Chains A and B, each alone.
Chain A
């Protein structure tokens, strides 16, 4: 019995392609990437079950060490069901994006862009308030002069 190298190489290739694909901007490609990642992980779980062995059906004449470990397979089954549901949901979202915007790309967040462009200077909070410290403010004096009063 030996480690199944083919499975491990396939797993590595699936991970590499999956990561490459989820970095794309096209939603369909992102979905394909997620599916590849999920399947690569299933192969990884399978690999943790150890060497290939007999089907885990109990019979008294079999040495326990000859059985395959059934637990990883149960885990894979669960994870397949979950990734199936998520894939179906993502397909729904992609279809909806297409129906709404006629494009398959991830959209920018408009509010995020707006906040990023906002200058750090805020007129309400940061503008200089004209302040006069003198006991006889200039403005009062000039206004009095305009009105023709005594200086």
Chain B
């Protein structure tokens, strides 16, 4: 018996936790213990899963006793287990932060009786989306996490949150409908929804039909991943939610969309038929997102725009469909989840200490709280890609892969990536100069707490602790970048090869089709598999 057969527990434990915390809603202490305990257990299990696929390779679990092409399967490979571990580290840190905030505030911002069960369901949905090997089950995973996110987004039901929630819910539902339409079309065309089986059967389709299905899936996932021009909803809806909620959304939800895009591009529709449009879209996402960030004066909105912008890097890595590009993209996803979440958590602390998250109202925070300045500075430099940090390594990997590919478009993207990185530095430097370095008197409309030092609320340790831990985790990604890049490289090789995935689901006799499919005349490009 393999440890990988315990994979469904990564979904079941959080759901069990949700049920327990819901039953315990009159006892906040028990709720906190149960949710943090079960999430830690899930994290432990996922680390074991990662270790197991590292040594024994891709494994699959058949659910309900139905054999693979008919029943639902869960597949654990290096990419999905890496995503699971990183996402659980993030969600555990955010959960402790939210608990600390709840204890300090008497639960005004996040009513604990609703928050804990909903949050655990969100985690279960994310794990399900990462683990599943079935297209419809992926849709169910998306719906679980989205429905939980609707509740978290509108927590408290204040005017701005309801307004933001409407946009978010409507856009998410439309993207889910598109995804469902794509699933229906795919089922109509091939008669299966198991992804490993689809990898074989989609290759037998007429190229026109295949491209249509491909585009439909990419558009549906593109909305979820916030790829330009489908990213308009994100900066509009994320900033109004409570700080821990925004942090976990920024870290995880868009990355689930990116994960689904990676699976689409590598497993279901390999080859380079849509690489050119994807690269153009990646370039536009990077530039438009970061230009939007420069125009903002609210830190949360600024970070939401940088989130959109940096999705472009991942799409760039994906669009190269080379081992180097995909490996860099996988590394970048892990790095970006950590950094973006820590920045949003720090912004929550800034809002608490400085009384606002608007740069027009902030000033002198570096003097007021040097610890806060340090906690902001490290992930901010990491995001901008300053050399020692993992952001630099991820971008370097992407740029090297882009140069190795050597087409004019990939060179343009390399330039665009460097420009975006510099503009990110500019945006982050504006936050630093205004909120941290200038005197409080220089702020346009200084928040009252900045001048009256007696009125400043202290930062609770339960909120600073998880933020600091996450910042340290971000730095650890830099220190252990070697093994992590090896892991990313392995997963990229496996994903582009597809044999391990298909064989683990359908058995060793399944025939893996050629990458390009039967009728495409485009030869694989240089640097490709």
Write the residues of chain A forming the contact surface with B, with a CB cutoff of 8 angstroms: 22, 27, 30, 34, 37-38, 41, 44-45, 47-48, 71-72, 75, 78-79, 82, 85-86, 89-90, 93, 96-97, 100-101, 106-107, 109, 111-112, 115, 118
> Are A48 and B187 neighbours in the complex by a CB distance under 8 Å?
yes
Name the interface residues of B155-187: CB closer than 8 Å to any CB of A: 157, 159, 162-167, 169-170, 173-174, 176-177, 180-181, 183-185, 187
Instruction: Please name all residues of chain B whose beta carbon is closer than 8 Å to the beta carbon of A44 when the two chains form the complex.
Output: 181, 184-185
**Contact of A93 (CB < 8 Å), options: B169, B185, B297, B301:** B169
Q: How far is the CA of A79 from the CA of B188 in the complex (A)?
A: 17
List the A residue with the shortest CB-CB distance to B165.
Answer: A93
User: Is chain A's interface secondary structure helix, strand, loop, or mixed overall?
Assistant: helix
Given A93-B165, A93-B169, A106-B167, A72 and B174 contact (CB-CB distance below 8 Å): no
Instruction: Please name all residues of chain A whose beta carbon is closer than 8 Å to the beta carbon of B181 when the two chains form the complex.
Output: 41, 44
Given A34-B170, A48-B188, A97-B166, A112 and B236 contact (CB-CB distance below 8 Å): yes
Given A44-B184, A96-B162, A38 and B147 contact (CB-CB distance below 8 Å): no
**Contact of A41 (CB < 8 Å), options: B163, B180, B295:** B180
Given A44-B181, A86-B173, A93 and B166 contact (CB-CB distance below 8 Å): yes
Q: Shortest beta-carbon distance, B175 to chain A, in Å?
A: 11
5 shortest A-B CB distances, which residue pairs? A48-B188, A45-B184, A107-B163, A44-B184, A82-B143
Interface: B107 (CB within 8 A): no
> Are A75 and B169 neighbours in the complex by a CB distance under 8 Å?
no
Given A75-B136, A111-B301, A89 and B151 contact (CB-CB distance below 8 Å): yes
List the A residue with the shortest CB-CB distance to B301.
Answer: A111
Q: How far is the CA of A93 from the CA of B159 in the complex (A)?
A: 10
Q: Shortest beta-carbon distance, A8 to chain B, in Å?
A: 12
Beyond the given pairs A101-B159, A109-B236, 4 more chain A to chain B contacts, judged by CB atoms under 8 angstroms and listed by A's residue number, are: A75-B136, A78-B136, A82-B140, A97-B163
Q: How far is the CA of A71 from the CA of B169 in the complex (A)?
A: 28
Instruction: Please name all residues of chain B whose beta carbon is closer than 8 Å to the beta carbon of A72 when the two chains form the complex.
Output: 184, 187
Name the interface residues of B87-114: CB closer than 8 Å to any CB of A: none
Write the residues of chain B forming the contact surface with A, with a CB cutoff of 8 angstroms: 136, 140, 143, 147, 150-151, 154, 157, 159, 162-167, 169-170, 173-174, 176-177, 180-181, 183-185, 187-188, 193, 236, 239, 295-298, 301
> Are A41 and B166 neighbours in the complex by a CB distance under 8 Å?
no
Q: Shortest beta-carbon distance, A150 to chain B, in Å?
A: 39
Q: Shortest beta-carbon distance, A2 to chain B, in Å?
A: 16
**Contact of A89 (CB < 8 Å), options: B147, B167, B295, B296:** B147
Q: How far is the CA of A86 from the CA of B180 in the complex (A)?
A: 15
Interface centre among A85, A111, A112, A118 (most CB of B within 10 A): A111
Instruction: Please name all residues of chain A whose beta carbon is closer than 8 Å to the beta carbon of B188 when the two chains form the complex.
Output: 47-48
Q: How far is the CA of A79 from the CA of B136 in the complex (A)?
A: 10
Instruction: Please name all residues of chain A whose beta carbon is closer than 8 Å to the beta carbon of B184 when the two chains form the complex.
Output: 41, 44-45, 47-48, 72, 75
Q: Shortest beta-carbon distance, A7 to chain B, in Å?
A: 13
> Are B170 and A22 neighbours in the complex by a CB distance under 8 Å?
yes
List the A residue with the shortest CB-CB distance to B187.
Answer: A48
Instruction: Please name all residues of chain A whose beta carbon is closer than 8 Å to the beta carbon of B136 when the two chains form the complex.
Output: 75, 78
Q: How far is the CA of A123 from the CA of B151 in the complex (A)?
A: 41
Q: How far is the CA of A121 from the CA of B163 in the complex (A)?
A: 30
Complex A-B: 22 CB contacts under 8 Å: A22-B174, A34-B177, A37-B177, A38-B173, A38-B177, A41-B177, A45-B187, A48-B185, A48-B187, A72-B184, A75-B183, A82-B140, A82-B147, A85-B147, A93-B165, A97-B162, A101-B159, A106-B163, A106-B166, A109-B163, A109-B164, A111-B239
Q: How far is the CA of A101 from the CA of B298 in the complex (A)?
A: 25
Instruction: Please name all residues of chain B whose beta carbon is closer than 8 Å to the beta carbon of A37 when the two chains form the complex.
Output: 173-174, 177
Q: Shortest beta-carbon distance, B210 to chain A, in Å?
A: 16
Instruction: Please name all residues of chain B whose beta carbon is closer than 8 Å to the beta carbon of A79 when the two chains form the complex.
Output: 180
Q: Shortest beta-carbon distance, B243 to chain A, in Å?
A: 16
Instruction: Please name all residues of chain B whose beta carbon is closer than 8 Å to the beta carbon of A30 when the two chains form the complex.
Output: 170
Instruction: Please name all residues of chain B whose beta carbon is closer than 8 Å to the beta carbon of A86 when the two chains form the complex.
Output: 147, 150, 169, 173
Instruction: Please name all residues of chain A whose beta carbon is closer than 8 Å to the beta carbon of B147 when the two chains form the complex.
Output: 82, 85-86, 89
**Contact of A45 (CB < 8 Å), options: B150, B180, B236, B296:** B180
Q: How far is the CA of A75 from the CA of B151 in the complex (A)?
A: 24
Instruction: Please name all residues of chain A whose beta carbon is closer than 8 Å to the beta carbon of B163 when the two chains form the complex.
Output: 97, 106-107, 109
> Are B140 and A96 neighbours in the complex by a CB distance under 8 Å?
no
Q: Shortest beta-carbon distance, A72 to chain B, in Å?
A: 7
Q: Shortest beta-carbon distance, B129 to chain A, in Å?
A: 14
